[in-house]
Amino acid sequence: MIDAYLLIDFGSTYTKLTLVDVVNEAIIATAKAITTVETNIMDGFNKAYENLCAKFDTKEVRIIKKLACSSAAGGLKMITIGLVPELTVEASKRAALGAGARVLKTYSFELTNAEIQEILNAKVDIILLSGGTDGGNSKTILHNARKIAEHIKHIPIIVAGNKCCYDEIKEIFDEASVNYVFTENVMPRLNVLNVVPVREKIREIFMKNIIKSKGMDEANNYIDGILMPTPAALLKAGEILSQGTSKQNGIGDLIIVDIGGATTDVHSLADGHPTKAGINLKGLQEPFAKRTVEGDLGMRYSALALYEASGEKLIKEYIDVPDIETRCAYLHDHIDYVPQDDTDVAFDEALAKVATRLALNRHAGYLEIAYTPLGDIFNQYGKDLLETKYLIGTGGVIVHSKHPEAILKEGLYSPSEPTILKPKDPIIKIDYEYILSAMGLLAFDLPDCALNIMKRYIVEI
């Protein structure tokens, strides 16, 4: 009898199952089926489970635990509120993205009634309220707390701002019966980022409240826990793979590119400090585990947005077909379209290359050159990823492509854009078995097992 963990990803399109032999640290089987959140989430799960059971001897395997992550029903939708756009607004956005949320919009300074209405209309799952360093500005966060208390009762609020206002915010929120929790300030001092406590609170609320509201109650009863949103599981996998566990080392700095139908996500696990001498680091501190989401770069739903973001010229660099715009529009309207011929495949790969290139341009830090009386001086904003050791690809188009390396190479440093600090010569690896998010889940219980499996299954081309 083999002891196994069943890891489930209730994705926006597919419910993906990964069955792991936790003793021999091996993947037993994987399977998927269309996610059925509109009817009963378990229909899709049962279908996928049937597919899975056909792939192994059910008499030989005992499932000892079932863990899940979810991005079904639109994922975890958040808005974040801060004070200055470049500071607490950016800090709170990074915290929410790192927790695997979809950040629909960010708000700065004092909220207006129109903005409150917009937030109500957006039907978000969680609101993150920040603003002010500890001991710093209190006027804005108090104003925003009052506005929220007046209009928004039912949406959970996480307060992560100037701690000196917490007593007063508590009074305001208690009086109005607002559903809220406090955590540490997301930017306690100028340019110092503190995302981990906020990430944890988001995950707690996700587990407690969000599961119910997404029609996933039944799934929650069957399995041992829907632990987190899928992107958070992916980031967790990246953290373990990069940093290792208490018992063994990870593989070092890495970047994960995940090209999906609606978004392209980039995760970097790296400090991103300057790799050359004499560079002046500017701006808000970067999180070691950083996730960015490009909502306008995707293979299907966002194909038209990609066309608009990149322009026809850029796509033409990769594929010369006359009907680029028509094709993008078609893909946008047919999100389950599977390539039918060689041109379709080539077109998908061209879109994936554009998505990789633009997503890495936005994720990586950049240099700004200042011409001073002392000569050229460089300011660095964001992460320097020039020397990052590994670039890992995941997501359908990469996993199923015959040329995944060619797609990922579009994310490398380019002499034509010398100020963008993208990796120069990383080792390229592919998540062929599509196991990264499952390993993020497994890492919660068995980090060493997850690490060993990733080292074994996520391989160089």
Partner 1 sequence: MNSNGKTVVIGVIGADVHAVGNKIIEHVLTSEGFNVVNVGVMSRQEDFINAAIETNADAILVSSLYGHAELDCQGFREKCNEAGLTNILLYIGGNIVVGKQDFAEVEERFKKMGFNRVYAPGVRIEEGIKDLKKDLGLV
CB nearer partner 1, residue 116 or residue 377: 377
CB nearer partner 1, residue 87 or residue 251: 87
* CA separation for the pair 438, 75 (Å, rounded): 17
Q: How far is the CB of 136 from partner 1 (least distance, A)?
A: 4
- Using CB under 8 A as the binding rule, whether residue 416 contacts partner 1 is answered as no
Q: How far is the CB of 384 from partner 1 (least distance, A)?
A: 17
Kindly determine how many residues on this chain lie close enough to bind partner 1 according to the rule CB under 8 A: 25
Kindly identify the residues of this chain, within the stretch 250-309, that bind partner 1 according to CB under 8 A: 280, 282
Instruction: Please choose, out of 56-64, 186-194, 196-204, 424-432, the segment that lies near partner 1 by the rule CB under 8 A.
Output: 186-194
> Any bridge partners for residue 259, and if so which?
264
Q: Which of 189, 212, 424, 456 binds partner 1 (CB under 8 A)?
A: 189
CB nearer partner 1, residue 225 or residue 283: 283
CB nearer partner 1, residue 188 or residue 298: 188
- Using CB under 8 A as the binding rule, whether residue 190 contacts partner 1 is answered as yes
Exposure string (b/e) for 262-295, b if CB count within 10 Å is 16 or more? bbbbbbbbbebebeeeebebeebbbbbbbbbbbe
Instruction: Please choose, out of 125-133, 168-176, 269-277, 431-439, the segment that lies near partner 1 by the rule CB under 8 A.
Output: 125-133
Q: How far is the CB of 374 from partner 1 (least distance, A)?
A: 6
Q: Which of 135, 200, 334, 419 binds partner 1 (CB under 8 A)?
A: 135
CB nearer partner 1, residue 64 or residue 190: 190
Q: Which of 44, 75, 132, 156 binds partner 1 (CB under 8 A)?
A: 132
- Using CB under 8 A as the binding rule, whether residue 167 contacts partner 1 is answered as no
Q: Which of 29, 53, 84, 309 binds partner 1 (CB under 8 A)?
A: 84
Q: Which of 13, 80, 133, 183 binds partner 1 (CB under 8 A)?
A: 133
What is the 3-state secondary structure of the chain?
CEEEEEEEEECCCEEEEEEEECCCCEEEEEEEEECCCCCCHHHHHHHHHHHHHCCCCCCCEEEEEEEEEECCCCCCEEEEECCCHHHHHHHHHHHHHHCCCEEEEEECCCCCHHHHHHHHHCCCCEEEECCCCCCCCCHHHHHHHHHHHHHCCCCCEEECCCHHHHHHHHHHHHHCCCCEEECCCCCCCCCCCCCHHHHHHHHHHHHHHHHHHCCCHHHHHHCCCEEEEHHHHHHHHHHHHHHCCCCCCCCCCEEEEEECCCCEEEEEECCCCCCCCCEEEECCCCCCEEEEEECCCCCCCCHHHHHHHHCHHHHHCCCCCCCHHHHHHHHHHCCCCCCCCHHHHHHHHHHHHHHHHHHHHHHCCEEEEEEECCEEEEEEECCCCCCCCEEEEECHHHHCCCCHHHHHHCCCCCCCCCCECCCCCCEEEECCCCCHHHHHHHHHHCHHHHHHHHHHHCEEC
CB nearer partner 1, residue 89 or residue 303: 89
CB nearer partner 1, residue 282 or residue 316: 282
- Using CB under 8 A as the binding rule, whether residue 187 contacts partner 1 is answered as yes
CB nearer partner 1, residue 1 or residue 277: 277
Query: How far is residue 133 CA from its own chain's centroid?
Result: 26
Kindly identify the residues of this chain, within the stretch 54-83, that bind partner 1 according to CB under 8 A: 83
Helices 447-457, 230-243: inter-axial angle, 10-degree rounding: 80
CB nearer partner 1, residue 87 or residue 350: 87
Kindly identify the residues of this chain, within the stretch 191-230, that bind partner 1 according to CB under 8 A: none
* CA separation for the pair 135, 123 (Å, rounded): 32
- Using CB under 8 A as the binding rule, whether residue 459 contacts partner 1 is answered as no
Kindly identify the residues of this chain, within the stretch 356-385, that bind partner 1 according to CB under 8 A: 370-374, 377, 379
Q: How far is the CB of 371 from partner 1 (least distance, A)?
A: 7
Instruction: Please choose, out of 50-58, 84-92, 238-246, 335-343, the segment that lies near partner 1 by the rule CB under 8 A.
Output: 84-92
Q: How far is the CB of 166 from partner 1 (least distance, A)?
A: 16
Integer Rg of the chain from CA: 22
CB nearer partner 1, residue 187 or residue 305: 187
CB nearer partner 1, residue 23 or residue 190: 190
Binding site for partner 1 (CB under 8 A): 83-84, 86-88, 131-133, 135-139, 187, 189-190, 280, 282, 370-374, 377, 379
